[in-house]
Homo-oligomer: A and B are copies of this chain.
């Protein structure tokens, strides 16, 4: 990458960072290009040299959000035949809530639809699809390892899991922000949901009569 391209990439990063800050403070719909420009030391029109429109900026934040979520949450998930599935999923859920708390702007765009007349473009959607595919693959591996019922439909399992994630993150974002998920109440909450999930889809379920 040449020097100009590098400098350009840094500027783009700065713009995105400022936009994320504004969204974090006011809610995603409170994004204003004027405020973003002010924070990066530009005038509003200069932003258009880096982003075609306000929507394109939202697209980029959405895209980076899913990439960050994948790297921070999904990637570290290692399964082995003697994984404690309840503890594993409980930790995953807690991590997701913590992530949403510290990436409020991204999370709003990813799990809600807060901006009038904006929806993610197909290109911006790609990392999101990747995350879903990863989740399905993980559940399939868990099934192969004997951690899940032998007769489950992994697509159904992944969808149920997605509902749980969307539910806890939505509740977190719509309640006072910044309240850590790692305190006692939230941890027990996550553990209960994980236990519920495993009661139905886990190997020891009563439907599992070999």
Contacts and interface: CB of A to CB of B under 8 A. Distances in A.
A74 interface: no
A195 B200 contact: yes
Contact of A115 (B27, B164, B199): B27
A173 B167 CA distance: 12
Interface string A101-141: 00000000001111111000000000000000000000000
Interface of A: 26-27, 29-30, 111-117, 156, 159-160, 162-168, 170-171, 173-174, 188-189, 192-193, 195-197, 199-201, 204-206
Interface residues of A, dominant DSSP? helix
Contacts of A165: 167
A171 B160 contact: no
A171 to B, nearest CB: 5
Contact of A164 (B116, B167, B188, B199): B167
